[in-house]
Structure 1
Amino acid sequence: MPHRDPLYRRHRFPAEIIAHAVWLYFRFPLSLRMVEDLLAARGIIVSHQTIRQWAEKFGRTFANEIRRRSSGRLGDKWYLDEAVVSIRGKKHWLWRAVDQDGFVLEVLVQSRRNAKAAKRLMRKLLKSQGRAPRVLITDKLRSYDAVRRRERIMKRFKSRRHLQRFISIHDPIANLFHIPRHDIPSSHHRELRAAAMNLWVKIARS
């Protein structure tokens, strides 16, 4: 029998299928049922509930590994931004810190929009980055509209904790595949995309 990574022990589906399902869910604005349909089209029958379990278990592992690999290598010019998210009819504020290249540094969902919430994000950000920024800019972030579109599409969050769990996995994976399309030749973009996919396969151990 081929070697099976301990991460996938006691899972009957191959690592490649599990990793691909997790990649589809966090890489594109797809619901769990859409991922179920895409897999079914390839003859892979798995329920959306199982895909949810994969996303939470393996997505967290993959996101943590991406964070570890990117530690200390992101930009020193930080943009702080906020977006309003409605959860069961109640407003919540999604605070995000992004560097000058559009890579997400930290995210935090808060039920209130006040100085205490902003300070909590800054404490979390400084702890995770281990340094202070060279420049700090607020309310001028326009580089991460794609993530906001994903958040608007995914309107099934049941709680603030659910949203926080999703974005804490989603954003590191989005960072890995955040490849600028402007000012670089198409051939170089394809090389960067291939490198990102190769690293994903390594991280997912698939």
Structure 2
Amino acid sequence: VVTYETVRCWCDKFGEAFAHRVKAARRKPGSTWHLDEMFVTLRGEPFLLWRAVDEHDAELDILLQKRGDKDAAKRFFKRVMRSNPVSRKIVTDQLRSNPAAKAEIPKLANVKHVFVKAAARLNNRAENSHQPTRERERRMRGFRDLKRTQKFLSCFGPIRQHFALKRHLLRASLYRKQLAVQFVAWREFAEHAQNPSTSF
């Protein structure tokens, strides 16, 4: 019998270390960034959750912000660049703050920028990557605190993707085999997180 509060404390204590190990072990990020925003309500107030994924659907980073203006977009671009190599192409919706922010960042000046029209947004990988967050939001009966939500979702994305194999593309036997490999890797991540001296 484990309470929800106990699980929350475990997430606070180990989640960040687990997510860090998962990110370090996965393959090198792709050269295309897909960026999108979604609205999240925290205690009745709307916030924008900015998300970037690569062409392999791997989540690069997220950032929860109050606004969706140029400064907010610029802040998110810089955050993604801190932990990922500069992309060769950026795909976004038609939010005007994105090109305005990109133009003020020298490293992104020559990066190709592709705009996805509203009618074609289902093709945007970042748009589809919001679905697990929506599901988690419903199960948790909404998010409440800005900092706690940012911390939780930053860990939730990489960890969920570690186990989220493309089951519809795999035979049952191959799916079970690959899932077993993921669990072996997870046990190693957990061991390293509990014994920091062996992490590097």
Greater mean alpha carbon deviation, residues 149-158 or residues 192-201: 149-158
- Residues of 1 paired with 2:63 and 2:21: CA distance? 19
Please tell me whether residue 177 in structure 1 is matched to residue 163 in structure 2. Answer: yes
- Residues of 2 paired with 1:67 and 1:133: CA distance? 18
Aligned to 2:13: 57
Match of 2:86 among 111, 117, 132: 132
- Residues of 1 paired with 2:169 and 2:4: CA distance? 39
Match of 2:128 among 143, 151, 155: 143
Amino acid at match of 1:138: T
TM-score, structure 1 length as denominator?
Answer: 0.71
Unaligned runs of 5+ in 1: 1-39, 41-45
Residues 58-137 of structure 1 mapped to structure 2, 5 A cutoff: 58-70=14-26, 73-129=28-84, 131-137=85-91
**Matched residue count:** 160
Instruction: Call closer, same or farther: CA 1:136–1:167 in 2, change over 3 Å.
Output: same
Runs of 4+ in 1 over 4 A off after TM superposition: none
Contact 2:52 2:59 in 1 (8 A): yes
Give CA-to-partner distance per residue, 1:118-174, whole Å, 9 cap, x none: 111110101101x11122111323432223322343344322111101101111101
The percent identity for this pair of structures is 34
Amino acid at match of 2:88: R
Please tell me whether residue 47 in structure 1 is matched to residue 3 in structure 2. Answer: yes
Matched residue of 2:178: which SS?
helix
Contact 1:99 1:105 in 2 (8 A): yes
Contact 1:63 1:173 in 2 (8 A): yes
